[in-house]
Structure 1
Amino acid sequence: MYMTQCLQRTLQQNPQHLATIFGVRRQTYRQFGERVACLAGALQTLGMAAGDRVGMLALNSDRYLEYIMGVWWGGGVLNPVNIRWSVPEIVYSLDDCATGILIVDEHFAALVEGIRKTARHAPRFIYAGEGGVPAGMLGYEQLIAQAAAVEDAGRGGEDLACIMYTGGTTGFPKGVMQSHWNLWSACMPRMVDMPPLRDGRLLHVAPLFHVAGMARALIQFMAGETHVLVSGFEAGEVLRVIEREKVTETLLVPTMIFALLAHPDFELHDLGSLKRLTYGASPSAGEMVEQVLARLPDIELSHSYGLTEACPVVSSNLPCNHTPAARKSGLSRSVGRGGLGVNVKIVDPQGREVPRNTVGEIIVRGPNIMQGYWNKPEETARALRNGWLYTGDGGYMDEQGYLFIVDRLKDMIVSGGENVYSAEVENALVRHPAVAQAAVIGIPHAQWGEAVHAVVVLKPGAQADAEQLRLYCREFIAGYKCPKSIEFRNELPLSAAGKVLKRELRR
C-alpha cells in the first residue's frame, strides 16, 4: 500500500469532486492533483531524492495538504514541524533527520533567519504564505507554476513515509518513523468502525503537524471526500465555517469543545449539518459529553485513544457508547476497544498479562505500530519489545475488552490537548544559574485539563522569582510547556535510591 493511491483513485473516479475549501480558495480533486504533481516535480528539481526529508512549518491550509501528498508523490518523507516549538527545538528536529527542504508560511517566516543561523546544515526554504516572497526564500506558487508535473513515485509498503517528532523523557524529541503501511493500517480500522459519510465535509481544526490531525486527513483522502480548513482554532470562526460550508464532521480536543459551547453566538449558528464529532488528545470528559449532547442531541460522538507511535489510533469508543444507557453504565468513560488488526493487552512490570479490571501498563501490537525512533536504537528497544509497543500508559480492561485509562505511567502532562514531558521542562529550569533542583508535575485545571506545575529548590544564597523562571524557560522550550505555576521548597521528597517522589508532590 502507498498513501498516494487514494488520491490516484479519486482522480480516476471522481476528479470533479471538491477536494479542499480554505477561505475563498476552492479546488477540485483534478486541480489538487495537478498541483501535487507539479509540487513533487519542483521538490525533485530542488534535490529531493527518494527517502529524503521535507519539513513544513505552517498553520493549517490547503497548501499543507498539498505538501503531504506532494512529498509522497515525489518519493520523499514528511517531517511536519510542531508550530509551537522554539527555534532550538525546530533546529534539533531538522538536524536530527537531515531535513533538506523546509516549507514555511507567513506566520513563521520570522523564524527562518534563526533556523538558518543555528542549523548544522540549513535547509532550502520555500515560502508558502500570502504576500511577497521574503529575501532568501523560494516562492511556493512560483515553483508550482514553473515545474513540470511528474509521475507518482509509488513508494509504499515498508518505505518510510513520515518522521513525526514527539517529546522525549530525556528532554529531546524523538522522531517516530511511520511507514506507508503503518499509516494505512492505522486508518483502515477506523474506517471500518466509522464508515465515511457520503459527501462528507471534514473541518480540519486540529493542527496537521499533529498525528491526530494528519491521520484524520488521510482518512478523508481515502474516502475521496472534501477537506474544509481553518488555519487555527478560534471559536467564533469555527462556528461560522461549520454553518457556511455545511461541515459534516470534525475532530476537536475537549478544551476546544468547551470554548465552542461557551461562545455567546453558539445558539445563533445553524449547526444542523454537523453529524459527527470526534474528541481525543485528552482523557474522556464526562461533563463535556453531557453538555454536547444537551446542545446537539442528534450528533454522533466518538472518542479515540492513541499515540504517535501507533500512527495513532489504538482504540475507539463509538457513538453507541454515548447513549443515555451507556453513559449511565460508565461505558462512555472508556476509550473503547482495540481496532481491527490491533492487539491490546494490560501487563504487569514483568510483561505478564494481568486479570481483567486490574490496572497495568497498556501494550499494543499491530501493523500500525511505528518502525522505531529515528537514530535512537536504545529508546526503540525500550519501547518495542517482542513485537509489542509499551505505551507507558496505565489502564485496565473490562470483561468485554473495553479499555479504561487511569494514569500515564510516564511523567507526561496533557494540557489543552498538547503533550508536555516533565523532563523537558525540568531540563530548562535547571539551566538557570539560581536553580539547584526542579520537579515538574501536572495539576488539575478547569480549562486546560492539566496545568504544568514546577517545584523548585534554589541554590544556597541564590534568588529568583516565578516570573523570572517562566521567562527563562521560554528561551528553550515552547510557551505551552512553561510552568503555569511555580512553588519554592527547601528540598524535594526523595526515595531511598535518590529519585524524586512525584507521587508525594502530587499528593
Structure 2
Amino acid sequence: MKIPLSPLSAVLRALTVHALRPALHAPDTEVMTYADLAGATARLVTHLRNLGVQTGAHVLLIGPNTTDALLAFHAVPLAGAVIVPLNPAFPDDALRFLAQHAQPAAALVDTRDLPRVQDTLTALNVPVVPTGPGAPLLERLGGLSPAPLTLPDTLDEDQPISINYTSGTTSDPKGVMLTHRAAFVNQANLLYHLNLRPPSRYLHALPLTHGNGWGAPWTVSAAGATHLLPGDSLRADLLTRGVTHLCASPALLAPLSDPAAPLTLGSPTRVLVAGTSPGPRLLGTLTAQGFEVLHGYGLIETSAILTLTDPADLPPAPPGQPPEALTRQGHPMAFAGEVRAVTEDGQPVPHDGFTPGEIVVRSNQVMRGYHRNRAATRRALEGGWLHTGDLAVTHPDGRLEILDRAGDLLHLGGQPVSSAQVEAALYRHPSVREAVVVAAPHPDAGQIAVAFVTLHPGAQVQGRELQRFCEPLLPAHACPRRVHVVTDLPKTASGKVLRHVLRRRAASPETSAAGLR
C-alpha cells in the first residue's frame, strides 16, 4: 500500500488528538485550542473554495506573522491549493512583480500591505481576502459551514505545497516549488532533531513568509505543540512567555549578545541557528545564557534546514562554553539524504578541514524546480544534484563547515581566503555586533580585505583598533586593510547581507578615502 507523503497528515492527526490542548497564542489574545484551530481552518477552506480556488491553484499570502497567516498555512494546502508566501519586506516593485509572476487565483493580504499590491491584484482580477488589523478574519469566517478536514482527494506528493521566492528580482525570478514529499521529510527531520512535543512552546521568530518559516507551521502543529506569535521584542518573549523552541538567523539573535544588557533564561530554550554563520562569540554567549544551540545549514531550495551540529552528539564542553565543533554546520540531518563538498570535477573534497569545495545535494528535500524559470532549474539541478553555489570544507569527523558563496571567496596576496574566517576574527572583539568582509581592488596588492562592522549600543571602538585586534589572529595577507564602523548593514528581506552593495561601497573612491574609522 502506498499513500502520498505530506506534512498535512500529521497536522490532521494533531487537530483531532490534541483538540483540547493550546494550539496558538498571539500577544494580548486568548489562546486558541487545536479544536478552535480545526474549526477556523475548516471554515477558511470553505471560503477559499467559495472564491473559486481549485486543486493546484496558487494562493498568495502577504503579511507579517499573525494568527491569520498561520491559519492560511493550514487551510490553503488542505483546500488542495499551493500557498505562495511573499515577504512583505520585499520592495513595492518586487511585491507587485512577484504577485503577477506567481499566477494567483486568490490572495490573503494583510491590510497594512494591501495598498502596495491592490492595483496589481485588481488588474489580474484576483479576489482578495483582507487579513490582520481592521479585518478580523476569524469573525468573518464564523458564519460559514466548515469543510471536512481530510487530505485532498487528488493529492500528489510530487506536486507543490508551496512556492517560495528567494528574492524579489525581476531579472531571474526564482520561485522555489517545494513538494508535499519534500515538506514531509523536512517535517520529520525537525520533529526528530528539535524534539518537539505537545508541551513545547515554539516562538515564530522567523517570518512565516520566508521559506515557510523553515517549515515550522506544519511541524509545530504535527507535534501538538503551542504556536507562539512574536510580541514587541525577542528578549521580552524569551523572558516572559515560556518559550522552549525557536529557529532564528544570527541577525535576529545578535541583539541578545549585547554585553551591556545581559540575558539569563529561566529555563533551557532550544534554538536552531542557520542562515549565515554565527560567530564563535555569539554561540558562546547564547550557550552561557541558557540556550541549547543547534547550528544548521540549508536553503529554501532544500525545504530549509539540511545539516546540523547538535551538542548532544559531541563530547562535553566546559560549562558555559560551546564545543568547538558547534561552529560547524555539521552532518546531514536524519532523513536529509546526501550532502557533499566537491571539487570542480565533482569529486568529494578530502576530509582535511582545509580543501574547499562546492556543496551539492541529492535529497528528498530538494525542490521540484523554479516556477516559470526552466533555465535556472536546469542550472541548479544539473547532473541530478542541487548545486548550491556555497563553498565548504569537510572536517575529519565528516562535519561540513560553510565558508562562502562561490562568488564571495576573497583572493588576497595571491591566495584564496574565506571571508567567514576574517569575520570570525572580528567577532572575537566584544564590541562587534555584526561583521562583513568583502574584497576591494587595490593598485598594488590586486585585492584587499575591507570590513564593515556594526557595534553593540554604547560601544566606542574605532576601525583602526579593530584592525590591530585582528593582526595576531590572521595571516598578514588576510587582515582587513580597512575597517568601517557603520550604523546598519544593507540586507535582503530575509535578513541576509547584500554583499554586492558593500563591494561597491568598498571600491568607491569616497569609501577608500574615508579609511579606517
TM-score when scaled to structure 1? 0.76
1:82 maps to amino acid: N
The residue aligned with 2:130 is 127
The residue aligned with 2:351 is 356
The residue aligned with 1:2 is 6
Map Cα deviations across residues 126-156 of structure 1 (whole Å, 9 max, x no partner).
111222x5xxxxx734541232211234335
Give the C-alpha shift of residue 197 in structure 1.
4.2
Give the C-alpha shift of residue 275 in structure 1.
2.6
> Closer, same or farther in 2 for the Cα pair 1:397/1:263, shift >3 Å?
closer
> Closer, same or farther in 2 for the Cα pair 1:113/1:197, shift >3 Å?
closer
Map Cα deviations across residues 272-297 of structure 1 (whole Å, 9 max, x no partner).
1343122111113201011222332x
The residue aligned with 1:314 is 306
Map Cα deviations across residues 250-293 of structure 1 (whole Å, 9 max, x no partner).
222223222134386655xx731343122111113201011222
Give the C-alpha shift of residue 353 in structure 1.
2.3
1:258 maps to amino acid: A
CA contact under 8 A between 1:311 and 1:370: conserved in structure 2?
A: yes
CA contact under 8 A between 1:346 and 1:353: conserved in structure 2?
A: yes
Give the C-alpha shift of residue 107 in structure 1.
2.6
The residue aligned with 2:118 is 113
> Closer, same or farther in 2 for the Cα pair 1:410/1:51, shift >3 Å?
farther
Map Cα deviations across residues 71-101 of structure 1 (whole Å, 9 max, x no partner).
0111110100011112221122222220121
> Closer, same or farther in 2 for the Cα pair 1:156/1:9, shift >3 Å?
farther
1:19 aligned residue (5, 18, 23): 23
The residue aligned with 1:338 is 332
Distance in 2 (alpha carbons) for counterparts of 1:230 and 1:263:
24
The residue aligned with 2:195 is 195
The residue aligned with 1:501 is none
Matched, 1:54 2:59: yes
CA contact under 8 A between 2:11 and 2:218: conserved in structure 1?
A: no
Report the 3-state secondary structure (helix = DSSP H, G, I; strand = E; otherwise coil) of the residue aligned with 1:146.
coil
The residue aligned with 2:405 is 408
Report the 3-state secondary structure (helix = DSSP H, G, I; strand = E; otherwise coil) of the residue aligned with 2:99.
helix
Percent identity of equivalent pairs: 23
Map Cα deviations across residues 26-56 of structure 1 (whole Å, 9 max, x no partner).
1000000110010011011101000101111
> Closer, same or farther in 2 for the Cα pair 1:198/1:98, shift >3 Å?
closer
CA contact under 8 A between 2:40 and 2:141: conserved in structure 1?
A: yes
The residue aligned with 2:166 is 166
CA contact under 8 A between 1:85 and 1:478: conserved in structure 2?
A: no
Provide structure 2 residue ranges, at least 5 long, that are not aligned to the other structure.
410-418, 424-432, 439-448, 457-489, 510-517
CA contact under 8 A between 2:357 and 2:393: conserved in structure 1?
A: yes
Give the C-alpha shift of residue 300 in structure 1.
1.2
The residue aligned with 2:81 is 76
Give the C-alpha shift of residue 400 in structure 1.
2.1
The residue aligned with 2:380 is 383
CA contact under 8 A between 1:7 and 1:33: conserved in structure 2?
A: no
> Closer, same or farther in 2 for the Cα pair 1:93/1:323, shift >3 Å?
farther
The residue aligned with 1:324 is 317
The residue aligned with 1:399 is 396
Indicate the RMSD between aligned Cα atoms, in angstroms: 3.5
CA contact under 8 A between 2:274 and 2:297: conserved in structure 1?
A: yes
Report the 3-state secondary structure (helix = DSSP H, G, I; strand = E; otherwise coil) of the residue aligned with 1:367.
coil
Give the C-alpha shift of residue 239 in structure 1.
2.8
Provide structure 1 residue ranges, at least 5 long, that are not aligned to the other structure.
134-138, 423-440, 449-472, 491-507
Distance in 2 (alpha carbons) for counterparts of 1:170 and 1:58:
21
Q: Aligned ranges for residues 210-359 of structure 1 at < 5 Å?
A: 210-211=210-211, 213-230=213-230, 234=232, 237-262=233-258, 267=263, 271-296=265-290, 299-320=291-312, 321=314, 323-324=316-317, 330-341=324-335, 342-357=337-352, 358-359=355-356
The residue aligned with 2:366 is 369
> Closer, same or farther in 2 for the Cα pair 1:323/1:395, shift >3 Å?
same
1:12 maps to amino acid: T
Distance in 1 (alpha carbons) for counterparts of 2:219 and 2:35:
19
Distance in 2 (alpha carbons) for counterparts of 1:442 and 1:226:
45
Bigger mean CA deviation after superposition, 364-373 or 317-326: 317-326
Matched, 1:186 2:194: no
2:130 maps to amino acid: Y
2:250 maps to amino acid: P
> Closer, same or farther in 2 for the Cα pair 1:301/1:126, shift >3 Å?
same
Distance in 2 (alpha carbons) for counterparts of 1:35 and 1:126:
15
Q: Give the length in aligned residue pairs.
A: 428
Distance in 2 (alpha carbons) for counterparts of 1:173 and 1:339:
29
Bigger mean CA deviation after superposition, 401-410 or 360-369: 401-410
> Closer, same or farther in 2 for the Cα pair 1:156/1:355, shift >3 Å?
same
Give the C-alpha shift of residue 211 in structure 1.
1.6
Distance in 2 (alpha carbons) for counterparts of 1:249 and 1:489:
43
